[in-house]
Structure 1
Amino acid sequence: MSRWIDLTGGTAGKEYAGRFEALAATGQDVHGEARFCAALVPPGSSVLDAGCGTGRVAIWLAEQGYDVAGVDLDASMLDVARAKAPDLTWIESDLAALDLGASFDLVVAAGNVIPLLAEGAEPGTVERLAHALKPGGLLVAGFGLDAQHLPVPPSVTLADYDAWCEAAGLWLEHRFATWDGRPYEGGGYAVSVHRRPADNT
């Protein structure tokens, strides 16, 4: 069972969506992750939102003309996503067992997806996400590295994550401190962009 399900019981969909709706109502930008992804690949590109939750990132990208699918283990989150955007593709699956029979220009794992996986499932999950990329495709992941930026005890370091990506055939292209592109100079949160080499089949 993932740390996310352990934390929420798999029933937090409406509460989670309500939190972001409240932020949006105050004028805060809740689409930073999606805009970041849109700056990396052009409209029409295929995007997999891995750990899509209630669909906030996937829905915005679809509205901008991206070919989007969302996958999540939490049925309560997917219920919200399907209600908001019933025409999009929403898949209930453990990312560690992901096998969609399709490949994508970009796979995004926002919202602390990596440190909220089941303990020990991280390397295999990164391998599955890498396998879902087209040659030349990008894996984008943003997650907390300390207690201030995580709802669970810290368990993943950047060295860990880079090693898992390297083992999966990906190389680090960029690293930022935030979704608005500030350079990473240390700190408790990082956004990493890894690429699958174009000749890696």
Structure 2
Amino acid sequence: MDSEAWWKQFKGKETPSTVHLDDSFFKMVPKGSKVLDFACGWGRMAFKLQEKGYDVVGFDINEDAVENARKASKKFNQIHKNRVSFDVANARDLPYTEGSFDACLIQAFMTALVDPEHREMVLNEASRVLKEDGILYLADFGQSWDNSLYRDRYLKDFSLTGEMGTFIVTEDGNPESPEIFRAHHYTRKELMELIEPRFAVEMFKETVFTTYHGNKTTGFVVIARKIDFLGMESF
């Protein structure tokens, strides 16, 4: 089962969400900004941002999760001045017009992109839908070579995945169990090489994240600003 098919199997609020938003987001993105939440699931982060004073559009390929989020939004849009809405969409081909958003939130999503071409497509789309001077907030899992669990999996699965840091995920976390999808943990260099052609990095922070199976791993939080086609900052 590939990562998209695996993600679509979750119902309602079952979609896993373990990574919390770093406080740096609120320092860099002014309240009232329009935020696009990539792979929003049932809307956990979108509703939090709405409560904090942001207008949010969330999207996901999981139709059931989006439907659940839409139902909840009816209540929250009555409570809060700021608005939230949800769409079914694919991050590689977004249905939004160019320059529609002040900020893009891509959190614990890039790990599911084991095809390098898809990573490029997603960040191209993020850049396209951002306004000039728009902010990219990206947080994802980093390679944890000091953790024997991950080190062994990186090395063992390399012959099958063909990319160091891409490994096989099983339902119960046991490496001997059947594969359900593959995930990728990034190096700092990998993320920088993906981000820098499109954005000027303003913050790169290393931290610790908890995975779907409860494991601790290196985490990276990046805040970057959209740059124009000439490679100069847009302001």
Is 1:196 aligned to 2:226, yes or no?
yes
Give the counterpart of 1:45 among 33, 47, 66: 33
Matches within 5 A, 1:87-106: 87=77, 88-101=84-97, 102-106=99-103
Task: Specify whether residues 92 and 34 from structure 1 end up closer, same or farther in structure 2 by C-alpha distance, changes over 3 A only.
Answer: farther
Contact kept, 8 Å, 1:43 with 1:65, in 2: the verdict is yes
Number of residue-to-residue matches in the alignment: 181
By how many angstroms is 1:65 displaced?
A: 1.9
Q: 1 or 2, which has the higher strand percentage?
A: 2
**Structure 2 alignment gaps of length 5 or more:** 78-83, 144-149, 152-166, 170-181, 210-216
In the TM superposition, structure 1's runs of 4+ consecutive aligned residues that sit over 3 Å from their partners are 150-153, 197-201
Q: CA RMSD in A?
A: 3.1
Query: Rg: which structure is higher?
Result: 2
TM normalised by structure 1 equals: 0.75
> d(CA) in 2 for partners of 1:179 and 1:153?
17
Question: Could you tell me how far apart the structure 1 residues matched to 2:207 and 2:9 are?
Answer: 28
Instruction: Give the Å deviation of 1:174.
Output: 0.4
Change (3 A) 1:94 1:163: same
Contact conserved, 2:38 with 2:105, CA < 8 A, in 1? Answer: yes
The TM-score, its normalising length taken from structure 2, stands at 0.66
Counterpart in 2 of 1:127? 124
- Which residue of 170, 175, 199 corresponds with 2:204? 175
Please give the alpha-carbon distance, in whole angstroms, between the structure 1 residues aligned to 2:22 and 2:63: 22
Percent of aligned pairs sharing the same letter: 21
Residue ranges of structure 1 left out of the alignment (5+ in a row): 21-29, 181-186
Amino acid at match of 1:95: A
Q: 1:189 is paired with a residue of what secondary structure?
A: strand
